[in-house]
Every structure is written in C-alpha cells, then in structure tokens.
Copies of this chain bind each other. A is one copy, B any other.
C-alpha cells in the first residue's frame, strides 16, 4: 500500500550487522550472555538472524583482542561461556558513543 520507506528495520539490521561487536558489548552491560543466548536476543530484539558461524568466531576474536572475557559456567554437564566486558571494550564503547553523538 504505502511505498517502501527507507526502512527503520533495515537500517537497524545494517547497524547491528556492521557493529555486531559493539552491539554485543552493549548487550553484555545489561545482562550476562553466552553465544547461543546472544543469537536469540539479536533475533528477538533486533530481528537480526545471526548464526553460529558468525557469533562464535567473532566472540573468539573479541576475546583475543582483549575486549571481552569468557568464563566457563557449568549447569550440570552443560557448558556455557559467559562473557563480560573488559576495560578495553568499555573504552571502545565510549569511543563509539562519541562518534554517534558527533554524527
């Protein structure tokens, strides 16, 4: 009916995909998360489908960069790698805020 607007949803998807690392760290400030849970939050909150081949290598590289740190949490025999943001990651988030504010 209405002509397609330059979709808010599409822009948000672009932003989340383009700054998935930053988005993940923002999410981590709100609640403890592990890879599988992140995929669900990204789907439910942003409508962005992020699969295992995207999330797990990304989390590994972010940890290697010193942005986040994993802690292995067991509930029974099930292992979860719960992440938290490190100081370097917090600096990155502050820099991101500055860029977005200036824009």
Q: A interface, how many residues as a size bin?
A: 20 to 34
Given A18-B18, A19-B18, CB of A99 within 8 Å of CB of B11: yes
Bound-complex Cα distance A33 to B6 (A):
22
- A74 CB within 8 Å of chain B: no
Q: Are B100 and A103 in contact (CB under 8 A)?
A: yes
> Which of A34-42, A53-61, A75-83, A87-95 lines the interface with chain B?
A87-95
Given A67-B6, A103-B100, CB of A95 within 8 Å of CB of B11: yes
Q: How many copies make up the complex?
A: 2
Given A5-B88, A6-B91, CB of A100 within 8 Å of CB of B100: yes
Besides A6-B95, A8-B98, A15-B99, 10 other CB < 8 A contacts?
Answer: A5-B88, A5-B95, A6-B89, A6-B91, A6-B92, A8-B95, A11-B99, A14-B18, A15-B103, A18-B19
